[in-house]
Amino acid sequence: MTILESAATLRAKKISSAELVEGSLKRIAAANSELNAFITVLEGSARKQAAAMDAELASGMDRGPLHGIPFAHKDLVQTKGVRTTAGSKIFADFIPEEDAQVASKLNHAGAVLVGKTALHELAYGITSNNPHYGAVRNPWDFKRIPGGSSGGSGAAVAAGLVPFATGTDTGGSIRIPASYCGTVGLKPTYERVSRRGVLPLSLTFDHVGPMTRTVRDAAVVFHAMVDNPSGYIPPAQVDIRGMRIGLPENFYFERLDLEVAGAVRTAVQTAAALGARIVDVRVPDIAALNVVGRMLQLPEATAVYRRYLERRSDFGADVLALLDQGRLISGADYLDAQRLRRIFVAEFAKLWEQVD
């Protein structure tokens, strides 16, 4: 069931939050030994919170569509009294004293936290092969990675263990596992969802967003995550007549698997048949953008975690190498990369004027 279907079924008294949560816990218990999608499962507190949510609904208190819905946080999101490892040995015993703002918001919305999902160490990589907590598996094929860094969230949602999970994205960490696992992943506009209380990777690139099974569910969760939500939920049948959809002429199709390219072309043709206007666009130089992004991300991540670099054996080899690389980037180069970033942002702003 989607979140909206579960919400309707709850209010029709055909199911309870306790039953939804119990189903989620059972599926996690059955699948997690192979998937390794969860680092921490919260059976006791989840059952208690579900009972409380049921009691509230019975008394007429309705917190909205997430009321009583089970979910998981990426284990980078600080949760009061619940271990938050960041997939790192450094934080193996870290128990936050406060909730991250996004955790507080989802708690207020009535969602029931059933566990914390696995990730690439410190969210610094895209495989979710974690040397400290084990490799996360793709539920479609256990021999394959789920992508990362929010690999546990992607795998958990794709396998139906939870209807939604939080993810974070610095250089693709929501988008990549959503793509690899076949889920919806939304990387919102920068700072639209608060990063407060989410363990950082890159101080000016981190984003928090929802991972769900449908676009409409992503909208529901997104609204619960932000201040001043519009409340817009796309209808099941969206009218896209006249909408301008950009189709990049450069970069994106250059090294693309033929099957994927074919699927994208089919989607474009479908959109055109439904009345959308397909606009050919040229995107700014993505290869150059990637160079600039690495010049920024490497030293930013090192600035966050350099205090732990005395404990070299506590890091995985790939993450340690990246943290060391960040120490070799000069301050002048970092600032010039931020100057180039401003130019790229302006170029993309012009592009967005051509499309909806």
Chain contacts with other proteins (rule: CB under 8 A): 189-191, 204, 288, 291-292, 294-295, 298, 309-310, 312, 320-321, 324-325, 327-329, 333, 335-343, 345
Q: Please give the backbone phi and psi of residue 127, each rounded to the nearest 5 degrees, phi first.
A: -100, -30
Q: Please say whether the beta carbons of 351 and 246 come within 8 A.
A: yes
Residue 187 Cβ, how far from other proteins at the closest point, in Å? Answer: 13
80 among known catalytic residues:
no
Cβ proximity to other proteins: between 64 and 284 the closer is: 284
3-state percent breakdown (helix, strand, coil) of the chain, nearest 5:
45, 15, 40
Task: Report, in Å, the least distance between residue 309 CB and other proteins.
Answer: 6
For residue 315, the minimal CB distance to other proteins (Å) is 11
Check 74, 89, 105, 187 and give the catalytic one. 74
Residue closer to other proteins (CB basis): 63 or 294: 294
Long-range CB pairs of 346-355 (<8 Å, 24+ gap) are 347/284, 348/283, 348/284, 351/246, 351/281, 351/283, 351/284, 354/244, 354/246, 354/279, 354/281, 355/244, 355/245, 355/246, 355/279, 355/281
Q: Is 194 a catalytic residue?
A: no
Cβ distance to other proteins smaller for residue 61 or 345: 345
Choose between 270 and 290: whose C-beta lies nearer to other proteins: 290
Comparison of 48 and 192: residue with beta carbon closer to other proteins: 192
CA gap 154, 139 in Å, rounded: 9
Q: In sequence order, what DSSP letters do the residues of 199-249 get, joined into one string? A: PPSSTTT-EEEEEESSHHHHHHHHHHHSSS-------SS---TT-EEEEES
Of 6, 128, 149, 153, the catalytic one is 149
Q: What is the DSSP secondary structure assignment for residue 83, as one 8-state letter?
A: -
Write the CB contacts of 247 (distance below 8 Å, at least 6 apart in sequence): 268, 278, 279, 280, 281
Is 74 labeled as catalytic in the residue annotation? yes
CB 321, min distance to other proteins, A: 6
Catalytic residue among 88, 128, 150, 173: 173
Extended beta strands in 75-169, E state: 112-117, 129-130, 134-135, 164-169
Q: Which residue has the tokens 């939920």?
A: 233
- Residue nearer to other proteins on the CB measure, 3 or 298: 298
Residue 149 CA to residue 169 CA, distance in Å, equals 8
Distances (CA, A) of 72 to 157, 161, 283: 9, 9, 35
Smallest gap, in angstroms, from Cβ of residue 170 to other proteins?
A: 15
Residue 201 to residue 178: CA distance in whole angstroms: 19
Q: Bridge partners of 207?
A: 169
Q: How far is the CB of 317 from other proteins (least distance, A)?
A: 9
* Beta bridge pairs of residue 244: 277
Q: Which amino acid is at 17?
A: S
Question: Cβ 353 to other proteins, closest distance in Å?
Answer: 17
Active-site positions read 74, 149, 173
